[in-house]
């Protein structure tokens, strides 16, 4: 082994660099790779050396052996953020120049794993796996890892299936292959049964918390089978009582399917007791208690705890914004929280969209709402919910009908539009009503009602309330009452005509006005689809419109 040297690490690296550049001196290279000596160095010198290493990478002077030796997560973690992508590109370049280098398949595979784990550079990792397969075309781990990366991209999923099926032929008893195949099948509509079979096969081969978690996730999120999901997560906990993801998902089963909020809270608190720094559990606790107006202070405390654990938690910031806006009516605090989530998750449009919603629906600040929606659509121009919110703002709040039509045409071209089959005809009805064509408006309203297929998803309730408010302002209250009374079959939506009757009568009957005031104070309005919910949310929007008119 190379004797420790007395020079500072930076000086030693500089000396090694010169030797490598001059003659590819193997002794100098060994000095650089001496892990025992590196481990004894001061952190400042080590950081400096790593930075130098990757600056040299840009100059194409890094030897493949250096890359193969950098299997320490601590070393990769010190790579400056602005160099991460170029480091991945450099790895690819070095691999390309090293086709004839004498490395075995396992070395190439380990390089790919290191690049994947520490740089997240998928293309460079695949290049390393391909090099491993040049050496050994049946290298199982490289085939599996390559298939797992191909699963991540729609245009390479055919290649993923090919790789994973080959891996299953090579090692049919490896549970990780069946997990990967299950994940791939679950990404495709109509492949739910195949996915279940793969996850079940993985459990049969290796009944561990890991395999039970994947099976439970599939039952919960893909098939909505609560009993099966519950059993799978409980089995995961039998194998690992400290498995926080199992506790969290089991809590979701109790919350969503059984409405057992106490049990859900108990499971999540158990997770935080096991690991106080578990951000996900604190966020889920905040979301759970946000559903209860009497627990708003607890929900706020949990979201703030999640942000204390991870100040970069966009999920916690977004949840806090929802709590402030919908439950606590602290609208400026909500805007600040949503803006924070937008900055923390720059590739996700929902933060800016929420800023727009609060400004438009609660504060009547339409210019600020428009700016926020435009920022959200810059992040994702095809985001349908934001696009429809923007259309509503332009047409029904700002009376910019032609601008709204232009934006609506953009929304109609979105690939995900079929998921919004009720919202789209609602907007068409509102355009027709603005043009004074009630027959066309009613036709589209009936189409929207028929598209519900007898069910009332909570996600579309806001769209119905906004449509009602807009039609009321246009003078169509009697017509929409008759339309809803004749065509609504869903027991929740049938309360809409009753809500409209309250507003019609409240103007001339003080007793009804008192009832309306009582409804506004009712805790039941938090339940989507109830009479109280519709009355309260219609009133909120009318108040925002009145505020905006007064400001204007």
pLDDT > 70 in the chain, percent: 70
pLDDT, tens only, 442-482: 999 888 888 876 565 555 667 777 888 888 888 888 888 88
Q: Can you tell me the distance from the alpha carbon of 370 to that of 352, in angstroms, rounded to the nearest whole number?
A: 10
| The pLDDT value given to residue 326 | 85
CA nearest neighbour of 321 among 131, 313, 404: 313
* pLDDT band, very low/low/confident/very high, at 173 (cuts 50, 70, 90): very high
Q: Can you tell me the distance from the alpha carbon of 531 to that of 142, in angstroms, rounded to the nearest whole number?
A: 59
Residue 66 has pLDDT above 60, yes or no: no
What stretches of 70-109 adopt beta strand conformation (E)? none
pLDDT, tens only, 420-449: 777 888 899 999 999 999 999 999 988 888
Average per-residue pLDDT for the chain: 79
Q: Can you tell me the distance from the alpha carbon of 204 to that of 321, in angstroms, rounded to the nearest whole number?
A: 43
Phi–psi pair at 446, nearest 5 degrees: -65, -40
Decide if 386 contacts 353 (C-beta within 8 A): yes
**What are the sequence ranges of the domains in the chain?**
348-419
Decide if 368 contacts 395 (C-beta within 8 A): no
Tokens read off for 411: 């929304």
* pLDDT band, very low/low/confident/very high, at 413 (cuts 50, 70, 90): confident
Of residues 146 and 471, more confidently modeled: 146
| The pLDDT value given to residue 296 | 92
Dihedral sign computed on CA atoms, order 429, 432, 438, 440: negative
pLDDT, tens only, 92-129: 555 555 555 567 788 788 878 877 776 677 877 888 89
Q: Can you tell me the distance from the alpha carbon of 132 to that of 116, in angstroms, rounded to the nearest whole number?
A: 15
Tokens read off for 376: 């959200």
DSSP type of residue 509 = -
Decide if 31 contacts 12 (C-beta within 8 A): yes
Q: For the ranges 286-295, 367-376, 389-398, which has the lowest average pLDDT?
A: 286-295
CA nearest neighbour of 33 among 66, 74, 71: 66
Dihedral sign computed on CA atoms, order 33, 37, 43, 49: negative
Q: Can you tell me the distance from the alpha carbon of 177 to that of 206, in angstroms, rounded to the nearest whole number?
A: 12
Q: Can you tell me the distance from the alpha carbon of 492 to that of 123, in angstroms, rounded to the nearest whole number?
A: 51
Decide if 479 contacts 442 (C-beta within 8 A): yes
Q: Can you tell me the distance from the alpha carbon of 459 to that of 387, in angstroms, rounded to the nearest whole number?
A: 15
To the question of pTM greater than 0.85 for the whole model, the response is no
Q: Can you list the alpha helix ranges (DSSP code H) found in 413-460?
A: 423-434, 438-450
Residue 382 has pLDDT above 50, yes or no: yes
| The pLDDT value given to residue 487 | 79
Tokens read off for 373: 């929606």
**Distance (Å) of CA 147 to CA 142, 167, 203, 341:** 8, 9, 20, 33
pLDDT, tens only, 265-285: 999 999 999 999 999 999 999
Longest dimension (CA), the chain: 97
Kindly give the interhelix angle for 477-487 and 438-450, rounded to the nearest 10 degrees: 30
Q: CB within 8 A of 195, min separation 6: which ones?
A: 182, 183, 185, 186, 218, 222
| The pLDDT value given to residue 10 | 45
CA nearest neighbour of 244 among 214, 280, 215, 208: 280
* pLDDT band, very low/low/confident/very high, at 9 (cuts 50, 70, 90): very low
Q: Can you tell me the distance from the alpha carbon of 122 to that of 119, in angstroms, rounded to the nearest whole number?
A: 9
Query: What's the CATH class of domain 348-419?
Result: mainly alpha
Tokens read off for 152: 């991540």
pLDDT > 90 in the chain, percent: 47
CA nearest neighbour of 206 among 227, 178, 234, 233: 178
């Amino acid at each position: 082994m190379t004797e420790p040297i007395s020079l500072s690490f930076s000086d030693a690296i500089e000396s090694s660099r010169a030797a490598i550049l001059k003659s590819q001196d193997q002794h100098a290279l060994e000095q650089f790779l001496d892990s025992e000596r590196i481990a004894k160095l001061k952190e400042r010198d080590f950081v400096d050396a790593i930075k130098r290493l990757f600056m040299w990478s840009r100059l194409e002077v890094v030897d493949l052996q250096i890359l193969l030796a950098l299997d320490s997560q601590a070393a990769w973690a010190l790579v400056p953020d602005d160099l991460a992508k170029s480091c991945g590109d450099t790895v690819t370049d070095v691999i390309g120049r090293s086709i004839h280098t004498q490395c075995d398949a396992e070395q190439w595979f380990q390089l790919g794993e290191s690049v994947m784990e520490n740089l997240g550079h998928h293309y460079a990792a695949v290049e390393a796996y391909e090099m491993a397969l040049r050496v050994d075309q049946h290298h199982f781990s490289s085939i599996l890892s390559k298939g797992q990366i191909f699963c991540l991209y729609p245009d390479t999923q055919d290649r993923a299936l090919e790789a994973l099926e080959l891996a299953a032929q090579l090692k049919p008893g490896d549970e990780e292959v069946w997990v990967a195949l299950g994940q791939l099948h679950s990404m495709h509509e109509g492949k739910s049964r195949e996915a279940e079979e793969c996850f079940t096969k993985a459990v049969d081969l290796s009944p561990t918390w890991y395999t039970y978690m994947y099976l439970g996730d599939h039952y919960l999120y893909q098939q909505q089978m609560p009993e099966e999901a519950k059993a799978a997560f409980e089995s995961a906990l039998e194998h690992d009582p400290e498995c926080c993801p199992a506790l969290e998902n089991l809590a979701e089963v109790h919350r969503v399917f059984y409405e057992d909020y106490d049990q859900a809270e108990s499971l999540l608190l158990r997770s935080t007791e096991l690991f106080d720094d578990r951000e996900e559990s604190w966020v889920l606790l905040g979301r759970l208690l946000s559903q209860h107006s009497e627990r708003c202070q607890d929900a706020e405390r949990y979201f703030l705890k999640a942000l204390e654990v991870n100040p970069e938690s966009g999920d916690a910031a977004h949840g806090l914004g929802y709590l402030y806006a919908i439950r606590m009516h602290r609208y400026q605090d909500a805007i600040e929280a949503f803006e924070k989530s937008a900055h923390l998750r720059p590739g996700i449009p929902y933060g800016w969209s929420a800023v727009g919603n609060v400004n438009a629906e609660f504060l009547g600040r339409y210019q600020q709402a428009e700016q926020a929606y435009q920022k959200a659509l810059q992040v994702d121009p095809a985001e349908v919910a934001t696009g429809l919110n923007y259309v509503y703002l332009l047409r029904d709040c700002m009376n910019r009908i032609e601008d709204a039509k232009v934006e609506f045409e953009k929304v109609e071209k979105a690939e995900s539009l079929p998921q919004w089959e009720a919202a789209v005809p609602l907007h068409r009805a509102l355009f027709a009503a603005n043009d004074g064509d009630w027959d066309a408006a009613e036709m589209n309203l009936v189409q929207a009602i028929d598209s519900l297929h007898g069910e009332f998803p909570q996600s579309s309730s806001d769209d119905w309330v906004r449509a009602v408010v807009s039609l009321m302002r246009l003078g169509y209250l009697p017509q929409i009452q008759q339309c809803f009374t004749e065509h609504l079959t869903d027991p929740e939506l049938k309360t809409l005509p009753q809500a409209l009757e309250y507003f019609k009568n409240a103007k001339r009957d003080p007793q009804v006005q008192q009832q309306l005031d009582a409804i506004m104070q009712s805790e039941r309005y938090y339940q989507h689809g109830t009479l109280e919910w519709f009355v309260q949310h219609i009133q909120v929007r009318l108040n925002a419109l009145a505020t905006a008119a007064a400001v204007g």
